[in-house]
């Protein structure tokens, strides 16, 4: 069946249902049109009136990428859109790999953690570099204001004067109000708002100003109407209010005498009805008659008005079935409770002799406690319907009170480097139940869609998951304090060194260059102070540099772009093919405390992916037993006195009884 012809359809009556490539229907106005082939040579044949509709599906039509709103600049044929998405620079993937680290629970740092920080390494161990990076990110994320709000400096805030009658908005505004405020800012101000801004420059919240100004204008119009009505009825304005004889005591109000207009009864032409005795039709007619009556009604006059005594009534009663928890408190109905405060002075110790808390240990403890049950040690808590436990325990630090934006990283910035998390990491995903006493870390690096599989395989599967004991091998006596370590694996295709970059928070691969390649190379002496591009590589033609840079991986290109302006221009030519683009969002705050997020610009960059390693091989290293011969923590115990081997006495005892029967054994025991 052909589709129904609508009023906006431009197809002819015959063309709507015709799908034949060899249609020979004669051309008639408003009936049919000529047959044509696609102008882009896709092979389709259709009626002339269907050309515009065909361009929406033509595979040879050039269209922008589906991610054009996210920054992809490519325009291609419609048939290549699906293939392009795998290498699209705007199709980025964020790595969600996560791992956990336990804090060091010992009050004194073990000898091993002290020794690895003092050791001078030619190549820093991968597990130590990762632990220091994770600790740094953890300290930056722990805010003292969140964990210890009672120890934050109180800053006197200056009251901000807003519009007349307005209430200052808080900073926590939802996105709906932010979007509405953004639309308000774009609208032009009215003449009244401009005049008010000119008279009072402190008006900030125009939305609250408009609301209150509308309310005041309504009250003003009501006052004018009252004055006008008093002028028309001078008898009511002449009434004087008599002062009260005894203001300290309530008096009975005198009944007001009805006036002539008020004493008029209701209209006689409108009968009185009882709504309970009428059906629906009669009730509608009666209500309409009363609604149309515009004559004044008889006012209700209070009679015998007397003051009422106010009594406080307690409606809540403790149920007889109530029974306090005997495991935690005693029954309050039998034992009398006495409120008493406990202070450090009751301990009989002076304040200077009380030990101070360590900021790092206390912060890590409270952070882990907050995940499980919150910071309850210094908070009030209702444990029963009648009793409340008031928290009196507080923390005393050397650096307290803290500033509002202080984090744990600011506190430890001037201290000696110390490791507070364990060097071993555990990879437990969110789908499994894990202990709340461990800190969780995320990778959060972004890659192109065609680079993500290589990053996950080489970084997380090959290196990170095997870094403790397999990729890197430590001495078996490391728990005693030995810091010996050796890296066992190398890429099978070429010689390279695996290292960890703390600034970029990622593993990197640095190829080892043979010494023979440096033979005959002389350093370049620069006479001018601001000379540029004096090295031999920079003197090459620009096209050659672009061709050479095309063989580098994404991580090397990101580092090469930081060398010089020339190398930055070279790497810029490869951004569309090797780089990725993402939106940079910023938070815009308006003058009336509203805010919203908006995309400020598009950022082009290279990812941190190194060259793909398909397989790894063992490096030529001596076994760990060679190190144990010279390990200072390996203590030998030489035995000079002879001692029997295990199992010798058992063999002598079993030999004579080998041919005995079960009956003879029981007889012998008796």
Q: Which of 488, 486, 433, 467 shows the shortest CA–CA distance to 131?
A: 467
**pLDDT score of 626 more than 70:** yes
Q: pLDDT digit string (tens) for 628-637? A: 999 999 988 8
Instruction: Report pLDDT for 570.
Output: 94
Q: Which of 3, 15, 2 shows the shortest CA–CA distance to 50?
A: 15
Phi first, then psi, for residue 655 (nearest 5°) are -60, -50
Q: How far is CA 167 from CA 181, 211, 302, 595, in A?
A: 16, 11, 40, 17
Q: What angle separates helix 206-232 from helix 175-186, to the nearest 10 degrees?
A: 70
Other C-beta atoms lying within 10 Å of the C-beta of residue 29? 7
Q: pLDDT digit string (tens) for 79-93? A: 999 999 999 999 999
Q: How far is CA 575 from the centre of its chain?
A: 29
Those residues with Cβ within 8 angstroms of residue 644's Cβ, 6 or more apart along the chain or in another chain: none
Element housing 200 (H / E): none
Alpha helices in 30-70 (DSSP H): 51-54
**Contact present, 411 and 359 (Cβ < 8 Å):** yes
Strand runs labelled E in 458-530: 472-474, 485-487, 489-491, 496-501, 506-511
Q: What angle separates helix 191-199 from helix 206-232, to the nearest 10 degrees?
A: 100
**pLDDT score of 64 more than 80:** yes
What is the b/e burial string over 187-196, where b = at least 16 CB atoms within 10 angstroms of the residue's CB? eeeeeeeeeb
The tally of CA atoms less than 13 A away on the side-chain side of residue 237 is 9
Q: Which of 32, 34, 39 shows the shortest CA–CA distance to 16?
A: 32
Mean pLDDT across 378-397: 63
Q: How far is CA 545 from the centre of its chain?
A: 42
The tally of CA atoms less than 13 A away on the side-chain side of residue 77 is 9
Instruction: Report pLDDT for 207.
Output: 60
Q: How far apart are CA 428 and CA 483, in angstroms?
A: 27
Instruction: Report pLDDT for 4.
Output: 44
Instruction: Report pLDDT for 196.
Output: 59
Bridge partners (DSSP) listed for residue 586:
598
Those residues with Cβ within 8 angstroms of residue 208's Cβ, 6 or more apart along the chain or in another chain: 162, 163, 165, 166, 167
**Residue 316 corresponds to which tokens in the numbers above?**
């809540």
**pLDDT score of 324 more than 80:** no
Q: Which residue bears the tokens 């309310």?
A: 215
Those residues with Cβ within 8 angstroms of residue 381's Cβ, 6 or more apart along the chain or in another chain: 388, 389, 391
**Contact present, 619 and 206 (Cβ < 8 Å):** no
Q: Which residue bears the tokens 């630090």?
A: 397
**Contact present, 613 and 461 (Cβ < 8 Å):** no
What is the end-to-end Cα distance of the chain in Å, rounded?
105
Lowest model confidence (mean pLDDT) among 142-151, 280-289, 347-356:
280-289
**pLDDT score of 333 more than 60:** no
Q: What angle separates helix 565-572 from helix 542-549, to the nearest 10 degrees?
A: 60
**Contact present, 580 and 92 (Cβ < 8 Å):** yes
Bridge partners (DSSP) listed for residue 599:
585
Q: How far apart are CA 665 and CA 417, in angstroms?
A: 71
- Could you tell me what percent of the chain has a pLDDT over 90? 26
What is the b/e burial string over 528-557, where b = at least 16 CB atoms within 10 angstroms of the residue's CB? eeeeeeeeeeeeeeeeebeeebeebbbbbb
Other C-beta atoms lying within 10 Å of the C-beta of residue 506? 19
Instruction: Report pLDDT for 432.
Output: 65
**Max Cα separation, the chain?**
139
Lowest model confidence (mean pLDDT) among 55-69, 295-309, 459-473:
295-309
Q: Which of 587, 597, 590 shows the shortest CA–CA distance to 169?
A: 590
Q: How far is CA 246 from CA 241, 251, 305, in A?
A: 15, 8, 17
Q: How far apart are CA 441 and CA 101, in angstroms?
A: 8
**pLDDT score of 124 more than 70:** yes
Range picked from 14-23, 258-267, 374-383 for highest mean pLDDT = 14-23
Q: How far is CA 456 from CA 20, 443, 618, in A?
A: 52, 10, 21
Phi first, then psi, for residue 496 (nearest 5°) are -155, 160
Q: pLDDT digit string (tens) for 476-504? A: 999 889 999 999 998 998 889 899 998 89
Other C-beta atoms lying within 10 Å of the C-beta of residue 72? 21
**Contact present, 526 and 534 (Cβ < 8 Å):** yes
Bridge partners (DSSP) listed for residue 62:
77
Q: How far is CA 276 from the centre of its chain?
A: 62
Mean pLDDT across 606-621: 91
Phi first, then psi, for residue 402 (nearest 5°) are -100, 160
Q: pLDDT digit string (tens) for 96-115? A: 998 988 888 776 678 898 88
Q: Which of 425, 457, 441, 449 shows the shortest CA–CA distance to 610?
A: 457
Q: Is 121 exposed, middle or buried (0-12, 13-18, 19+ CB in 10 A)?
A: exposed
**Residue 411 corresponds to which tokens in the numbers above?**
């506190």
Phi first, then psi, for residue 313 (nearest 5°) are -115, 125
Instruction: Report pLDDT for 309.
Output: 67
- What is the 3-state composition of the chain as percent helix, strand, coil, each rounded to the nearest 5? 30, 10, 55
Assign 385 to helix, strand or coil.
Answer: coil
Of residues 668 and 365, more confidence is placed in 365
């Amino acid at each position: 069946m052909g589709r129904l012809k609508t009023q906006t359809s431009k197809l002819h009556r015959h063309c709507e249902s015709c799908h034949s490539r060899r249609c020979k229907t004669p051309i008639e106005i408003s009936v049919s049109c000529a047959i044509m082939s696609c102008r882009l040579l896709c092979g389709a044949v259709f009626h002339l009136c269907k050309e515009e509709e065909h361009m929406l599906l033509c595979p040879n039509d050039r269209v922008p990428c589906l991610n054009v709103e996210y920054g992809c600049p490519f325009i291609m044929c419609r048939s290549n859109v699906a293939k392009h998405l795998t290498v699209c620079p705007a199709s980025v993937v964020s790595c969600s790999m996560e791992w956990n680290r336990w804090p060091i629970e010992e009050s004194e740092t073990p000898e091993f953690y002290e020794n690895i920080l003092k050791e001078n390494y030619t190549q820093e161990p991968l597990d130590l570099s990762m632990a220091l990076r994770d600790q740094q990110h953890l300290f930056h994320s722990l805010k003292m204001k969140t964990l210890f709000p009672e120890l934050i400096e109180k800053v006197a805030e200056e009251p901000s004067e807003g519009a007349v009658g307005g209430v200052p908005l808080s900073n926590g505004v939802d996105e709906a109000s932010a979007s509405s405020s953004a639309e308000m800012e774009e609208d032009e101000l009215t003449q009244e708002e401009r005049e008010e801004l000119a008279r009072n420059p402190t008006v900030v919240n125009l939305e609250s100003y408009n609301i209150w100004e509308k309310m005041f204008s309504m009250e003003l119009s009501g006052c004018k109407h009252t004055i006008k009505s008093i002028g028309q009825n001078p008898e009511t304005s002449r009434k004087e209010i008599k002062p009260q004889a005894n203001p300290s005591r309530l008096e009975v109000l005198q009944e007001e005498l009805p006036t002539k207009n008020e004493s008029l009864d209701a209209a006689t032409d409108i009968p009185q009805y009882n709504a309970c005795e009428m059906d629906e039709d009669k009730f509608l007619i009666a209500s309409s008659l009363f609604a149309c009556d515009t004559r004044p009604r008889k006012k209700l006059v209070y009679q015998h008005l007397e003051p009422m005594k106010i009594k406080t009534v307690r409606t809540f009663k403790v149920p007889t079935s109530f029974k306090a928890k005997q495991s935690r408190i005693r029954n309050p109905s039998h034992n009398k409770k006495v409120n008493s405060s406990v202070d450090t002075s009751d301990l009989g110790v002076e304040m200077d002799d009380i030990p101070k808390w360590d900021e790092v240990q206390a912060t890590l403890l409270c952070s882990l406690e907050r995940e499980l049950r919150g910071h309850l040690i210094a908070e009030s808590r209702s444990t029963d319907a009648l009793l409340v436990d008031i928290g009196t325990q507080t923390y005393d630090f050397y650096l307290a009170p803290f500033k509002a934006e202080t984090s744990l990283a600011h506190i430890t910035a001037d201290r000696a480097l110390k490791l507070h998390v364990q060097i071993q990491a555990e990879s437990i995903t969110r789908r499994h139940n894990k202990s709340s006493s461990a800190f969780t870390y995320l990778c959060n690096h972004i890659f192109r869609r065609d680079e993500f599989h290589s990053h996950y395989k080489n970084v997380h599967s090959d290196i990170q998951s095997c870094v403790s004991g397999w990729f890197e091998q430590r001495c078996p006596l490391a728990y005693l304090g030995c810091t010996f370590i050796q890296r066992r694996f190398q890429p099978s295709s070429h010689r390279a060194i695996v290292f960890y970059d703390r600034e970029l928070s990622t593993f990197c691969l640095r190829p080892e260059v043979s010494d023979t390649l440096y033979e005959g190379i002389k350093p370049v002496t620069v006479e001018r102070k601001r000379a540029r591009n004096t090295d031999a590589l920079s003197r090459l033609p620009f096209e050659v540099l672009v061709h050479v840079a095309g063989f580098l991986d994404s991580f090397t290109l990101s580092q090469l772009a930081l060398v010089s302006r020339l190398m930055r221009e070279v790497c810029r030519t490869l951004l569309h093919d090797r780089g990725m683009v993402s939106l940079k969002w910023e938070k815009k705050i308006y003058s009336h405390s509203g805010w919203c997020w908006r995309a400020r610009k598009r950022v082009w960059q290279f990812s941190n992916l190194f060259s793909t390693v398909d397989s790894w091989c063992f490096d030529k290293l001596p076994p760990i037993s060679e190190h144990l011969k010279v390990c200072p923590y390996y203590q030998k115990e030489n035995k000079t006195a002879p001692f029997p081997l295990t199992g010798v006495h058992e063999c002598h005892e079993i030999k004579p009884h080998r041919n005995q029967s079960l009956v003879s054994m029981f007889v012998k025991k008796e």
